[in-house]
Amino acid sequence: MQNVKINSSQFLILVILFTVGTSILTIPSALAADTDQDAWITVIIGTGIGLLVIWLYTTIALWFPSLTYVQLNEKVFGKWVGKVLSLLVIIMAFLYTASLLYYSGTFLNIHVMPNTPLVALNILMMGIIVMGVRLGLETIARSAEILFFVFLILFLSLVVLIAPGIQIENIQPVFEAEAKKIIKSSIFYVAVASSNAVVLLMVFPAFINKVKHAKKSFIIGNLIGGIVIIIVTFLCISVLGPEKTAREIYASYELTKRINVGDFIQRIEAVSSTLWIISVYFKAVLYFYASVLGIAQLLNIKDYRPLTLPLGMIAVFLSIIIYPSISYQVNWDETTGTYFSLFVGVVLPLLLAVVYGVRKKSLKKDSGSS
């Protein structure tokens, strides 16, 4: 269909930004609400489980290195069952594009521009997302390479500047939360940070140069993203304290408000919103790319580009109506959203692996003859 290829280091960066995505701003408070000062331990466990999920993806994907996930579904499950299951993945990707638009717009609305209509902010964001997807995967990957360095520098300086505010008393006593709660909220973390990465199977391995390297990139990228979240969560808990972290909607933004070096370097919270806009943008672009490409492949359309503009408009509209209020969004994310992500991101791939195991021989024959 297309001859675009990105290399494995570009893919690594995309995976990191995808994993960090929305988690950097929302995960600390969501987890602190459940497990108090042990939230950072939860993230460590969640990252561990998440790596297993990613390993599952790479294994599945490498059975047919030239196919995207949508094509893979059709191959393994047969035409019609495959199409239905693919539709679920596409619905998830598209729904989350709209959801991320809502996230970024609401964030700006709450913290920076309360009087600007949400729709105006979302149109701007969607504009550059559509632009990115129209220009293709290679362009997205290259701009990710450039912006990743901005991301890295801002993130590291944030960590260094906030480090003097760490109070170890805030994370004590360690392991107070019940094991059951820790497991439960680390599953939530897996749903947010890892199982959504199933949409990356639309990129990996079909559009990647050296698939063997890229397998490593997928796993390492998820790990690095996880470490970023671990650090941010740890900083939130140890600087703000568990209660305050749980109360804030965007805890890591509140964290940057605390930076004050000698009454001189202060009021630099714009830094953390830059960080977040970068990571949310790439997460949204990848979701949108996956949904547009998925629809094109589902309907056997040769080029996905004509779909970008109309779907972009629908996404903007959807982002306005998707959550009636912020409380609804928080609840949805923690209940329905989690189950949905886990179903599409873990149950379906496992099902695919089982069916593949059963039909292995006939499938091999198929691909051999065609």
Partner 1 sequence: MKRYVFVLLIFSLFLTGCWDRRELNELAITLALGIDKIEGEYEVSAQVVVPSEVSPKSSTGSSPVTLFRAKGETVYEALRKMTNESPRKIYPGHLRMLVLGEELAKEGISESLDLLARDWELRSDFYVVIAKDKTATEILNVSTTIENIPANKMFNTLKTSESSLASTKGITLDELIADLTSEGKNAVLTGIEVKGDQEVGPSKQNVETITPSATITYDYLAVFKGNKLIGWLTERESRGYNDITNSVKSTVMPISCPGEGEASIEVIDFNTDMKGKFKNGSPEVDLTIEAEGNVGAVECKIDLKETETIDTLEKIYEKELKGIINETIDTLQNKYESDIFGFGKAIHRSNPKEWKKIKEQWNEEFSELTVNIEVNMKLHNTGTLSNSFLKRVKE
Q: Residue with structure tokens 């199409």?
A: 83
Supply the minimum distance, in Å, between the C-beta of residue 214 and partner 1. Answer: 38
CA dihedral 200, 201, 202, 208 (to 10 degrees): 90
Using rule CB under 8 A, residue 116 touches partner 1: yes
Closest C-alpha among 42, 55, 328, 327 to residue 190: 42
Determine contact, residues 31/42, Cβ cutoff 8 Å: yes
Q: How many CA atoms lie within 13 A of 155 on its CB side?
A: 23
Which residue of 3, 79, 114, 370 would you call a contact of partner 1, by CB under 8 A? 114
Which residue of 48, 78, 117, 164 would you call a contact of partner 1, by CB under 8 A? 117
Taking the C-alpha atoms of residue 315 and residue 309, their distance in angstroms, rounded to an integer, is 10
Residue type at position 83: K
The tokens describing 275, both together, are: 């960080």
Supply the minimum distance, in Å, between the C-beta of residue 247 and partner 1. Answer: 8
Using rule CB under 8 A, residue 111 touches partner 1: yes
Given the complex with partner 1, which of 95 and 124 has the nearer CB atom?
A: 124
Beta bridge partners of 6: 208
Q: Residue with structure tokens 């107070």?
A: 176
Using rule CB under 8 A, residue 172 touches partner 1: yes
Using rule CB under 8 A, residue 210 touches partner 1: no
Which residue of 52, 176, 178, 306 would you call a contact of partner 1, by CB under 8 A? 176
Closest C-alpha among 2, 309, 281, 251 to residue 130: 309
Using rule CB under 8 A, residue 257 touches partner 1: yes
Using rule CB under 8 A, residue 98 touches partner 1: no
Residue type at position 49: I
Determine contact, residues 322/98, Cβ cutoff 8 Å: yes
Supply the minimum distance, in Å, between the C-beta of residue 257 and partner 1. Answer: 6
Supply the minimum distance, in Å, between the C-beta of residue 123 and partner 1. Answer: 10
Supply the minimum distance, in Å, between the C-beta of residue 158 and partner 1. Answer: 17
Closest C-alpha among 216, 343, 289 to residue 68: 289
Supply the minimum distance, in Å, between the C-beta of residue 309 and partner 1. Answer: 15
Supply the minimum distance, in Å, between the C-beta of residue 299 and partner 1. Answer: 30
Which residue of 52, 81, 84, 120 would you call a contact of partner 1, by CB under 8 A? 120
Which residue of 20, 137, 193, 240 would you call a contact of partner 1, by CB under 8 A? 240
Determine contact, residues 298/86, Cβ cutoff 8 Å: yes
Binding mask 37-76 for partner 1 (x = CB under 8 A): ----------------------------------------
Backbone conformation region of residue 97, classed left if phi is above 0, alpha if psi is from -120 to 50, else beta: alpha
Supply the minimum distance, in Å, between the C-beta of residue 243 and partner 1. Answer: 5
Using rule CB under 8 A, residue 262 touches partner 1: no
Using rule CB under 8 A, residue 181 touches partner 1: no
Taking the C-alpha atoms of residue 178 and residue 21, their distance in angstroms, rounded to an integer, is 28
In sequence order, what E strands does the chain have?
A: 260-261, 265-266
Which residue of 169, 270, 310, 336 would you call a contact of partner 1, by CB under 8 A? 169
Site residues (vs partner 1, CB under 8 A): 110-117, 120, 169, 172-173, 176, 240-241, 243-244, 247, 257-258, 260, 267
